[in-house]
Structure 1
Amino acid sequence: MNFPANSDLWTLFGSSFLAATLLPGGSEVVFALLASQDVYSPSVLIGVATLGNTLGGMVSLGMGWLVARRYPLRTLARPSHQRAYRWLRRYGAVGLLGAWMPVIGDPLCFVAGWLRLNVFLGLFFMAVGKGARYAALWNVVG
């Protein structure tokens, strides 16, 4: 079966999407591999990775929103969720600039949904932070 050349971009999108959900995974290896091949422009790679990672973060935010309907906020037991809670109580939606961070990024998105932060502001700050991360990664590997 022959796949079109842009299947690489779908792979990048998928890996960056999954990396931003509560599932384990990382998109840096796929991003670095594609950057080293010099086939796609930096803006395309950064854009695709940012889009996938942001949409994955929005899934985590949505999961937090749905879980909050069933369980009250006092049941946040995981230490990573407690850290995310304190971070978001301090910074609000702007705190989602840190959604790219390992370990705490996914819980940040989840807890932002739990706290019912403004979805549009959350989306904006999440995209800016994740885009900056991929731009920095491009500067290292590109």
Structure 2
Amino acid sequence: MAYLTLFLTAFAAATLVPAYSEVLLGGLVTQNYSLWGLWACATAGNTLGSVLNGWIGRQVERFRHKRWFPISEKQLESAQVRFNKYGQWSLLMAWLPIGGDALTLIGGIMRVPWLNFIVLVAIGKGLRYALVLWIVLEATG
């Protein structure tokens, strides 16, 4: 049950829902759960939460033909091409507490290919949770 709770908390933390999976992860580390299991659940949940953000971002494009849409169709297509060429690497920073969720939403709007999106986000999220585990283990001896 602890692994599921961590997965769901990490999922929520990647969305606009205020959740702090690092705190739960730190507490579970001290209770002798499998470090690999904790890391995998936190990383998978947080990555899938970011995929939800990316999916929501992709839905924004449905409104591109509306008069009130803030940029023209041509500008959006140009931005998507540029972002996919140069900007998709920014998804490695999706783990950041400020702006990380916005990056995944933008990645969706910019239609980053799903495989690239998931791999880049998962690398960043996995490294963050590995760092959290290392810090907790160092602090608890």
Give 5+ residue unaligned stretches, structure 1: 1-6, 76-84
- Deviation readout 1:87-141 (Å, 9 max, x if unpaired): x578422211100101201000001000111111010010000000000000001
Deviation (angstroms), 1:68? 2.2
User: Whose Rg is larger?
Assistant: 2
Cα deviation for residue 58 of structure 1 reads: 0.2
Q: Where do 1:21-100 residues align within 5 Å?
A: 21-38=15-32, 40-71=33-64, 72=69, 74=71, 91-100=86-95
C-alpha separation in 2, matches of 1:96 and 1:64: 14
Give me the whole-angstrom Cα distance separating, in 2, the residues matched to 1:16 and 1:69: 29
**2-side partners of 1:44 and 1:101: how far apart?**
22
Q: Alpha carbons of 1:73 and 1:115: their partners in 2 closer, same or farther (altered >3 Å)?
A: farther
AA paired with 2:26?
A
Using the alignment, how far apart are the partners of 1:129 and 1:73 within structure 2?
30
- Post-superposition shift, 1:41? 1.9
Query: Distance in 2 between the 1:106 and 1:112 partners?
Result: 10
TM-score under structure 1 normalisation? Answer: 0.80
Question: Which residue does 1:130 correspond to in 2?
Answer: 125
Cα distance in structure 2, aligned partners of 1:17 and 1:74 = 31
What does residue 79 of structure 1 align with? none
State the alpha-carbon separation in 2 of the partners of residues 122 and 73 from structure 1.
24
8 Å Cα contact 1:58-1:109 kept in structure 2: yes
Query: Counterparts of 2:30 and 2:71 in 1: how far apart (Å)?
Result: 46
Is contact 2:84–2:112 with CA below 8 Å preserved after alignment? no
- Contact 1:20/1:56 (8 A) holds in 2: yes
Offset, 1:69: 1.7
